[in-house]
Structure 1
Amino acid sequence: MRQHLASPSKANFRQVRVVFDETFNKSACLDLESHLIRWLAGDGQFEVANGNEGIVDARYYEREIYRESFADIFDQLRSEGLFRQTIPEIENSDLFKLSPFKVLTTEQASAVENILEGLFQDLAVGGTSTSVIEGHPGTGKTIVAIYLMKLLADIRDYDSAVDFEPDSVFAEHFVPENRELLRDLRVGIVVPQQSLRESIKRVFRKTPKLSQAQVLTPFDVGASAEEWDILLVDETHRLNQRANQSSGVNNKRFSSINQDLFGADDLSKTQLDWVRAKSRHQIFLLDAEQTVRPADLPLATLRGILERARADNRAFHLMTQMRVAAGSDYVAGIRALLRGEPSPDGLRGLGDYDLRFFDDLGEMRRQIHARNEEHGLARLLAGYAWKWRSRKDRSAFDIEIDDVQLRWNSTDKDWINQPTSVNEVGSIHTVQGYDLNYAGVIIGPDLRFDTVSGRLVVDRASYHDTKGKENNKQLGVVYSDDDLLTFIRNIYGVLLTRGILGTYIYVCDPALREYLRAHMPVSE
């Protein structure tokens, strides 16, 4: 306690609570500490002053038995006012899910360790660098990015006498030399999607040493008068190439930024070029199979980023599935099915994962409501196969199937956490990057199965995302039905991998329903 109180950031602390348990060993104590830090950060009532210099999901003898007592300790602390919410409520929140105080897997910790090692070498010699973290949905790319932001701030500000555990995973990086290398550096995180960006800003507002001003749009980067030393780019695949933007203002800004950065409005320049022009070190987090619009970076560009990083031994691949309880095989199996390449082993051994097909959309909606009552965070999602009428007429319905009438998401920002969201349907633009406990996915008539050719095909007329099928006049690119199939397939690949505990599926096209059902081990 004397050591803690010697820190200026903790000198005003006035209360101490001590947990006694004569059966606890050091591993159990560290595990409890980790849980309490994450729960407190996720609850949001207090600002957590701890660093995050390295908590890994360690295995130790009789861990589950020790953990049974953690809930009792939590309940006692909650009764004394230290927590406002229950554990399920906390763990369903973005403050918890996007917290920098996460327990890293060994795989994630290895990627962080290697990135830090290379970054400090590059900072020491004054060079530039590009690192890439690649991974399927649910492997924790966003978590690693947020974790790195906090870890770099902790190393920059640490006090060698009081502020970090000498036996922590990343302890070797807490040295005066690295502290000096990071001093006065501008570090930011670029998040292309509006909804996810707002959620991360909220987390940063609650986290010491981080600021919501560090959470940037690509336009923020391109238009800034100052440069960044280090930029992390989450969902790099959602950066834009030159294309018709969502507004005339952004079309003009795109042109102006190109002129300012490159001396002319070079149509070949992308938001990726802005990031490279405005920063010395970049850390890109990407998944090429999550591009969902023609304006997103082309596959060839994403491959180029990855190849460059591999050549410099700065490419890291995350494989462990952190979201879907069915495991990594589920994600790979879903993607194979959507490519029309069902793998005999891709969707087997899903354990207790609740995967169901529904022929009645009304029943699927009732089951999603029931799961939401039981677990929270159960939502309906759909491909963009219906017009968004309710955007202009709040009394109108968007999706009408049989006797079921539904509306699209009423907001683009933080839709998942809105009170009305359980009665609405989320699009790709509101859920990419998020977790749900249960996802009820409506696969619309935009995706069909041709029984003659045995292929998945698109119905262009049934796809209503204007920006999702718009030809690129600036670059003279016309998108074929096969190109559109790639985007729509990727969209459903994202929607079908949101559910942690289960995924419910309703398919409009009968042939596609039978194709998917034949290759998926449903729970019904």
Structure 2
Amino acid sequence: MTASDIAVLDFTAASLGRFAEIEPRTVNWPVVYVIDDEEAGRAYVGETLNTSGRMRQHLRTRGALLRRVRLIIDETFNKSVCLDLESQLIAWLNADQKYQLLNSNAGIVGAQYYDRISYQETFKKIFAQLREDGLFEQSLEDLENSEIFKLSPFKALNADQTRVVLRVVEDLFHDVENSVSETVIVRGEPGTGKTVLGVYLIKLLRDIIDGTDFDGERESLFATFLSNEYQTILGMGFRIGLVVPQQALRRSLQRVFESTPGLAPEMVLSPFDVGKADVGWDLLVVDEAHRLGRRSNQSSGVQNRAFSEINQKLLGDDDQRHTQLDWIVAQSTHRVLLLDPEQSVRPADLSARVQRSLVRDARDTDRFHPLTTQMRVAAGSDYVGFVRSVLRGERPSPPDLGDYDLRLFDDLGGMHAAIKRMDRRFGLARLVAGFAWEWKSKKDRGAVDIALDGIELQWNRTDKDWITSPGAVDQVGSIHTVQGYDLNYAGVIIGPDLKLDPDSRQIVFSRADYHDKKGKQNLPKLGVVLTDDDILRYVTNVYSVLLTRGIRGTYVYVVDPLLREHLARTLPFRSDA
């Protein structure tokens, strides 16, 4: 065989034996393989140093399920390369949805190794060969832009995420064995991968409970948990749920769970689902836990009544201080909260005081685990911290953003045209904005919501799955459609709700220009009356979220001339903008 060849064989002892006679690298050589049954729609991906021995093992355990094997043998591969390619193929196959994977996710690694960038190009060529041979249906670009790929439990974790998942799993097994009920806090800025971590954790635990891949040949810190010992600790009836306060993200995750072996869409819950349930959970993982609600006017009378009824049912009274977090605690034995206080965007979100208390208590019980490695924005974690500092009115030194495409536009039409170019080239390029314009088109589909610089735009036509919906590139998404998601390019419109005060030279909030009714609503039942400075914190949080969605780049248009001038001097925009 030559470098990067792929042998396609019947998955039988005879076929594999004949191949071993002519290919000496079936013993003591790193190989990646895919075994599948196209008619049944099942596949398994693995890597091994002893192909002959491993295939004999698979024939005993999977011979009745799978019919064909592809052996990827490359004379330049080593163990690290094979582990990486195995992880990539698992993630791609899961996103492609042609096959149901029989793998667990415990062996998926994201380790660095020598010349990894070059090998990533080799992997793309291998993908093209496999797609031509019929293993994949979708293009690589479509796969990697899909929500199933981005939110997949088969994504390789980085070292930071691996450390945290390991600690959380160890905490959980300790607490289950010792009948201890604690709350674990995982705190991380935008792009540190909190959602992916939560989904990975739930899949790993379900694989332990179900006995998935207990016979696997794995190189992973989590491999030791795939055993009868840990399966017995949890027990077959161990009940797990993922709580997602935001409707848009919840719908996306329900589709991911529906397509993932061992998971089910019913496992993805709203806080109201948790509160109304008659049976509790052994473990609840709460994504974007800062968005859990406290007592306020809900979006409908039905939810207002439900809030009161749930309080009565679970907590014995309708004390106005009860929050959806109290429902989570009442309905679960163990909890993992994925949290970032600086992504609270409405007054009805968990209060800063409650979030500080959660972090303090978790530190005291050694259940606080920070995520620090930036995975989304190519400019790195310095960019996220810098954006937040600037919006707080500070004047930090600008970081080196490398090749990150950060641009300031003085014409909205020009920014929209640039976003459409990037969407044609890379996909997932969208306009987003603060809630500084009324949503007129919600009731009148022909109405214009945003009219600036001679162009007219509408808000997102749907508040569910907007990012991937038809025509999204010509609409403007709000915070409620993009929080928790990745974009390749984000075109951020900073509306007149933020201005620069000409006297103090500070960023200030304009209540008259802010149209998120729930975003500026007082909480009379709690005695909370919001000042402009109070709301300013939520609005700047909104913009910090919007400005940290873009993986490859962020384009910015600012309505207020003074603020535009201020940001032009403060943010390290590209000089050719």
Q: TM-score range by the shorter chain?
A: over 0.9
| Correspondence for 2:472 | 421
Q: CA deviation at 1:70?
A: 1.2
Bigger Rg, which one = 2
The answer on 1:131 being equivalent to 2:184 is yes
Alignment check: 8 A CA contact 2:208 2:230 kept: yes
Give the partner amino acid of 1:67.
Answer: Q
Rounded to whole Å, the distance in 1 between the matches of 2:285 and 2:508 is 36
- Which residue of the other structure, out of 566, 571, 577, is the alignment partner of 1:515? 566
Rounded to whole Å, the distance in 2 between the matches of 1:362 and 1:67 is 37
| Correspondence for 2:149 | 96
**Per-residue displacement from partner, 1:184-212 (whole Å, max 9, x unpaired)?**
11100000000000111111111111111
**Per-residue displacement from partner, 1:317-364 (whole Å, max 9, x unpaired)?**
1111100000000000000000001211xx321000000000000000
**Per-residue displacement from partner, 1:37-71 (whole Å, max 9, x unpaired)?**
11111222222221111433212222233332211
Rounded to whole Å, the distance in 1 between the matches of 2:70 and 2:158 is 29
The answer on 1:456 being equivalent to 2:510 is no
Rounded to whole Å, the distance in 2 between the matches of 1:160 and 1:456 is 55
Structure 2, unmatched stretches of 5+, are 1-54
| Correspondence for 2:6 | none
**Per-residue displacement from partner, 1:268-293 (whole Å, max 9, x unpaired)?**
11000000000010000010000111
Alignment check: 8 A CA contact 1:380 1:440 kept: yes
Q: CA deviation at 1:7?
A: 3.9
| Correspondence for 1:439 | 490
| Correspondence for 1:174 | 226
| Correspondence for 1:210 | 263
Alignment check: 8 A CA contact 1:56 1:169 kept: no
Rounded to whole Å, the distance in 2 between the matches of 1:440 and 1:311 is 42
Instruction: Summarize the alignment of residues 452-491 of structure 1 with structure 2, pairs less than 5 Å apart.
Output: 452-491=503-542
Where 2:415 maps in the other structure, the secondary structure is helix
| Correspondence for 1:105 | 158
| Correspondence for 1:270 | 323
Where 2:72 maps in the other structure, the secondary structure is coil
Alignment check: 8 A CA contact 1:55 1:169 kept: no
Instruction: Summarize the alignment of residues 55-204 of structure 1 with structure 2, pairs less than 5 Å apart.
Output: 55-158=108-211, 162=215, 164-183=216-235, 184-204=237-257
- Which residue of the other structure, out of 547, 550, 558, is the alignment partner of 1:496? 547
Rounded to whole Å, the distance in 1 between the matches of 2:524 and 2:64 is 60
Give the partner amino acid of 1:173.
Answer: F
Give the partner amino acid of 2:233.
Answer: L
Rounded to whole Å, the distance in 1 between the matches of 2:214 and 2:415 is 57
- Which residue of the other structure, out of 301, 305, 309, is the alignment partner of 1:256? 309
| Correspondence for 2:439 | 388
Give the partner amino acid of 2:106.
Answer: E
Give the partner amino acid of 2:93.
Answer: L
Rounded to whole Å, the distance in 1 between the matches of 2:173 and 2:330 is 21
| Correspondence for 1:296 | 349
Alignment check: 8 A CA contact 2:104 2:212 kept: no
Q: 1:149 to 1:97 in 2, by over 3 A?
A: same
Instruction: Summarize the alignment of residues 45-60 of structure 1 with structure 2, pairs less than 5 Å apart.
Output: 45-60=98-113
**Per-residue displacement from partner, 1:394-415 (whole Å, max 9, x unpaired)?**
0111001121100000001110
Rounded to whole Å, the distance in 2 between the matches of 1:302 and 1:161 is 39
Where 2:260 maps in the other structure, the secondary structure is coil
TM-score, structure 2 length as denominator?
0.88
| Correspondence for 1:316 | 369
Rounded to whole Å, the distance in 1 between the matches of 2:214 and 2:537 is 54
Q: CA deviation at 1:159?
A: 6.0
Q: CA deviation at 1:176?
A: 2.3
Alignment check: 8 A CA contact 1:223 1:257 kept: yes
Alignment check: 8 A CA contact 2:250 2:268 kept: yes
The answer on 1:368 being equivalent to 2:419 is yes
Alignment check: 8 A CA contact 2:439 2:459 kept: yes
Alignment check: 8 A CA contact 2:109 2:220 kept: no
**Per-residue displacement from partner, 1:81-137 (whole Å, max 9, x unpaired)?**
221211111111111000001111111100011111111011001121110100100
The answer on 1:4 being equivalent to 2:58 is yes
Where 2:71 maps in the other structure, the secondary structure is coil
Rounded to whole Å, the distance in 2 between the matches of 1:123 and 1:506 is 51
The answer on 1:237 being equivalent to 2:290 is yes
| Correspondence for 2:71 | 18
Q: CA deviation at 1:30?
A: 1.4
Q: CA deviation at 1:166?
A: 4.5
Give the partner amino acid of 2:500.
Answer: F
- RMSD over equivalenced CA pairs, Å: 1.3
Give the partner amino acid of 2:393.
Answer: G
Q: 1:307 to 1:7 in 2, by over 3 A?
A: farther
Rounded to whole Å, the distance in 2 between the matches of 1:282 and 1:307 is 16
Give % identity: 55
Alignment check: 8 A CA contact 2:198 2:287 kept: yes
The answer on 1:41 being equivalent to 2:87 is no
Where 2:490 maps in the other structure, the secondary structure is strand
Give the partner amino acid of 1:426.
Answer: G
Q: CA deviation at 1:468?
A: 0.8
**Comparing 10-19 with 301-310, which one deviates more in the overlay?**
10-19
Give the partner amino acid of 1:391.
Answer: K
Q: 1:123 to 1:161 in 2, by over 3 A?
A: closer
Alignment check: 8 A CA contact 2:103 2:212 kept: no
| Correspondence for 1:378 | 429
Alignment check: 8 A CA contact 1:44 1:95 kept: no
**Comparing 62-71 with 495-504, which one deviates more in the overlay?**
62-71
Q: 1:460 to 1:160 in 2, by over 3 A?
A: closer
**Comparing 59-68 with 127-136, which one deviates more in the overlay?**
59-68
Q: 1:455 to 1:159 in 2, by over 3 A?
A: closer
Q: CA deviation at 1:177?
A: 2.4
**Per-residue displacement from partner, 1:370-410 (whole Å, max 9, x unpaired)?**
00011100000000000001011101110011211000000
Rounded to whole Å, the distance in 2 between the matches of 1:217 and 1:225 is 15
Give the partner amino acid of 1:486.
Answer: R
Q: 1:84 to 1:166 in 2, by over 3 A?
A: closer
Q: 1:161 to 1:492 in 2, by over 3 A?
A: closer
**Comparing 67-76 with 464-473, which one deviates more in the overlay?**
67-76
Number of equivalenced pairs: 520
